[in-house]
Every structure is written in C-alpha cells, then in structure tokens.
Amino acid sequence: MVGYKLNGYKNLTKDKSVVSYLTPDKVYIPLKNGSNEDSTELVSKGNHVFKNMHIAHLKGPLKINIISSISGKVIGIEEKTFFNGQKVKCLVIENDYKEDIENNASLKKNITSYSKEEFLDCLLDAGIVGMGGASFPTYIKYSTDKKIKTLIINAVECEPYITTDYRMLFDYTEEILETIDAIMKINKIDNAILAIKKTHKSLINHINNYIGSYDHIILKTVPNLYPMGWERLLIEKTIGVEYDKLPIEQGIVVNNVSTIYAIYEALKYGKRVTERIITFSGDMLVEPVNMLVKTGTLLKDIMKEFKFKKGNFNIIAGGPMMGSIVDDDLVISPSLNCVLFLEKKCDVEVTECIRCGKCAKVCPARLSPVLIKDYLKDITMLKKLKADNCISCGLCSYICPSNIDVRSYTEKARDIVRKAG
C-alpha cells in the first residue's frame, strides 16, 4: 500500500471554532503566486485603495489578479518572507479600518445561473488559486475544451496539524455542497466526489445529514495515510484512474475545500480572495487555533495574539512534512494553510546510510531514494530511476533511521533530470 500513517495532531485544533484577526495596522500584499513574480502594479505610493480592489496583475500563462485585503493608503513596496522561505516583494498598505469595498456589478442571485464564460471570468477576477498549498490558478483548471467528467473535492488534508479544510467543511457544509452543485451545472460535470479521511467520523456523519439532496455528489472515504491528498494518489484511490501529466487528460478536476468556498463567495457575493482560514498549531503554542486572517498580514502581528511556551522554536510555513522554516516576517498569502511553532530540538546526529530500504518502501512515487542517492552523478541511471517523479513529499527523510535528509538528494536528482530533459 502506498502511503504512510503519520501522527496527525489534528485534535489540537479540529473541534475548536474559528477565531479571527482582521485588524492589522498594515498589510503586505505579496506580488507573487507560486513561482510567478512577473507583476505589474496598478497602484502606486500615495494612492488610496479599496478593499477587494485589483492592485496588481501577474502576467504570463498563469496570469492572476492580486487583490487588496483592506482599504487604506499605499505606502510603498517592501520585501517580506514568502511561505517558501524566500524573500518576496510586497505592496504595503496602511489600514484606514473603513473596509470600503469596491462594488462588483455582475452578480447573479442564483449561483447556478452563471454561464461557463462568466464563471471563468469570475474566478480570474477574484484571484482564486489552489488554497491547499498548490497556488495553481483555479480558472485554468476549468478552461479546457475537454469534457470534464469528474470533479473531486479534496478534503483529505493529509499533512499533520492542518485542519482548515476540516473546519470549513464542518462550518459551511451547505454552502460548499451548493457550490459543488453549481460548478457541476455550469461546467456540465457528470459527477463529483468529496474525499474525506476515513478517520474523521464525526465530520462524515455531519456531511451525511446534508448530502442526501445532492444525489450526484458522492462522499468517499480514503485511508488515513500520507500523502493521500496528493492528486495522483487521490484520483487513483477514489476512482481508480491513472493519468500521465495532468488530471484533466482523464477529464478530472481536483479542488480543495477552501478553494470551493472561495468560489462560493466570489459567485454569491462578488468577494475576491482577501482573507482565509489558517491553522496555527504546534507544540510550543499554548492555544492552537484556526484563525481567519487577511492576506498580507504579517505573522509578527498575529503572533502578538498568541501565548507561547518557554523555549526556542522553529516557525514553519505549511505542514511539517513539506513546509519550510521561516521567520516572523512571513506574510499571509492565499495558498498558505498552516503555520506551526515547533520546538527546536538539538541537532539530530546524521549517521551512515544503513541501506535499510525504508525510504524505498514509503516513497509514494514508487521511487527508490537510496539508489537515487547512490547514483547522484550518473544521469542515465537517474533517468532509469525516474528521479523526475519525486513530489517532495518528504516521507523518505521522515522515515530514515540514520536521519539523512534523503529528500534533499532526490530533489537534487529530480532537478538534474528535469534540466537534462
């Protein structure tokens, strides 16, 4: 069986109601999405901006709109920390606390009555991207000539600690089901599958109370394994279909729950992506919570709301498996779903590889990381080992008894192979 059972730590936050922090003095809107930094600013220093306003575009094939999350005055551009740990250029806006909203005209009463074009425009306009961490612009997934047969809603959240989708699905069950139904009608999709971890019993019961009226939306449970939320694995597990490069080849679109809810708000209220729920958790936080925050909020400001236990800690943006260590200059971006405060352990001792084969056993991409590590200099062998299939899930590093950061080797090998073509 592909995948590995990790300790989830979900109970820290999953049953707590969502709190909010929506009044930062300033926001720092990152001019970047995924790896796209090709930005054109639409406002400049001194301008007044509304909340919900387009303040920049990112160009290129993955073009997307950048939205202001508050009303106030643009006071400049600064570098802050992006969730991948690198520095990112941000538009700084000073809050006037008025929450003045730029009006969006083309709203429809019934969210099912949008045409496909209107739907795509709306997603692009609202700046909706994959909110489970992938940051892939959502409108692109739907702008296809291919017939979309299946929509899969990914509510798996396989990384430990994270419970944003869990909370969303619990609190906004009707809205989310309604949106799925609307997306299906607009895009003429035959069926939809809502994928949830088998172990989330109370959530499953809860949803079963609502799902009855939507007979083409099916709830499917998946095993509590990491990385079950990985698209390829999820599709294989739920509908038994394999694809080569992208799910759309097989007429499949996968969206996560937060993304669906963002679509709901866009279709229903013309709201663009200005805030999101984030899990703040980890063993050094006295009160782990799910919190609604504005995009562009500085982590430093949010941290003032928290109490910490004594000791040194690492700040991690994203889950503990795939996330990166960051500083408190981190800005909230639309695809960030989790910030962790984990105790800084004294450096673990890295020892010689004992060739136990555990990394090869856990790799969900069916790679043999230990062999990839052996052949790091041999490109032909790396190609045969399909090193380019590594998805950076980190299981090999997690499992290695010698504490070797095996992923750093497999990622290097992947880049070597990809570069060689």
Partner 1 sequence: MSTLIKDKNSTDKIMTRLLIALTSIILFAVYKNGIIPYINNKIEFVDIFYPLLFILLPALITFSSELVFGLLVKKKRGKELFEFAKNSYAFFPGLFLGLICPITLPISILIIGALAASILGKLVYGGFGQNIFNPALIGYVVIVFSYSLFFSSNAYLNKYEVDTIGGSTPLTTIKSLDSSISYNTIVEPYGNLGDFFLGFIPGSVGEVSSVLCIIAFIYLALTKTIKWQIPVFYIGTVFVLTIIIGIILGQGIYYPLVYLLSGGLLFGAIFMATDPVTSPVTKPGMVLGAIIMGILTVFLRYNSSFPEGVATSILVMNLLTFILDRIGFNIKFSLKKCIIPVLILICIMVSVVVVSTDKFNNDNTVDSKFKLISKKIENNKVIYEASEKGYSSNIKAIIEIENGKITKFEIKEHNESFYSMVEKENYITKLINNASNLDEVDTVSGATFTSGALKKLLINVISDYEKEGDVVR
Binding interface with ligand SF4 (CB under 6 A): 353-359, 363-365, 367, 369-370, 390-396, 399-402, 404, 406-407, 410
> In angstroms, what is the minimal distance from the CB of 353 to ligand SF4?
3
> In angstroms, what is the minimal distance from the CB of 117 to ligand SF4?
38
Length of the chain: 421
Select from 48, 188, 361, 418 the one that contacts partner 1 (CB under 8 A). 361
> In angstroms, what is the minimal distance from the CB of 209 to partner 1?
35
Tokens in use for 279?
A: 């899990």
Helices (DSSP H) in 156-211: which residue ranges? 164-171, 173-187, 201-211
CA dihedral for 128, 134, 140, 145, sign (positive or negative):
negative
d(CA 89, CA 30): 6
Select from 338, 394, 410, 413 the one that contacts partner 1 (CB under 8 A). 394
CA dihedral for 309, 313, 317, 318, sign (positive or negative):
negative
CA dihedral 368, 370, 375, 379 (to 10 degrees): 30
Select from 11, 79, 357, 415 the one that contacts partner 1 (CB under 8 A). 357
> In angstroms, what is the minimal distance from the CB of 404 to ligand SF4?
5
Interface with partner 1 by CB under 8 A: which range of 121-129, 284-292, 304-312, 361-369?
361-369
Residues contacting 244, CB < 8 A, separation 6+:
none
d(CA 176, CA 404): 42
The three-state secondary structure class of 380 is helix
> In angstroms, what is the minimal distance from the CB of 199 to ligand SF4?
22
Helices (DSSP H) in 229-374: which residue ranges? 231-239, 257-269, 299-303, 358-362, 369-374
Interface with partner 1 by CB under 8 A: which range of 28-36, 91-99, 261-269, 398-406?
398-406
Window 313 to 352, contacts with partner 1 (CB under 8 A): 314, 316, 320-325, 340, 342, 348-349, 351-352
64-67 and 54-58 as β-strands: parallel, antiparallel, unpaired? Answer: antiparallel
Q: Which amino acid is at 95?
A: N
392 binds, among partner 1, ligand SF4, none (CB under 5 to 8 A by kind): ligand SF4
d(CA 64, CA 57): 6
370 binding partner 1? (CB under 8 A) = yes
> In angstroms, what is the minimal distance from the CB of 225 to ligand SF4?
13
Select from 11, 20, 86, 403 the one that contacts partner 1 (CB under 8 A). 403
d(CA 67, CA 296): 10
| Selection from 319, 336, 127, 357 nearest residue 229 by Cα | 319
> In angstroms, what is the minimal distance from the CB of 83 to ligand SF4?
18
Comparison of 59 and 361: residue with beta carbon closer to partner 1: 361
325 binds, among partner 1, ligand SF4, none (CB under 5 to 8 A by kind): partner 1
Which residue ranges make up the site for partner 1 (CB under 8 A)? 6-7, 160, 314, 316, 320-325, 340, 342, 348-349, 351-358, 360-361, 366-368, 370-371, 384-386, 394, 397-403, 405, 407-408
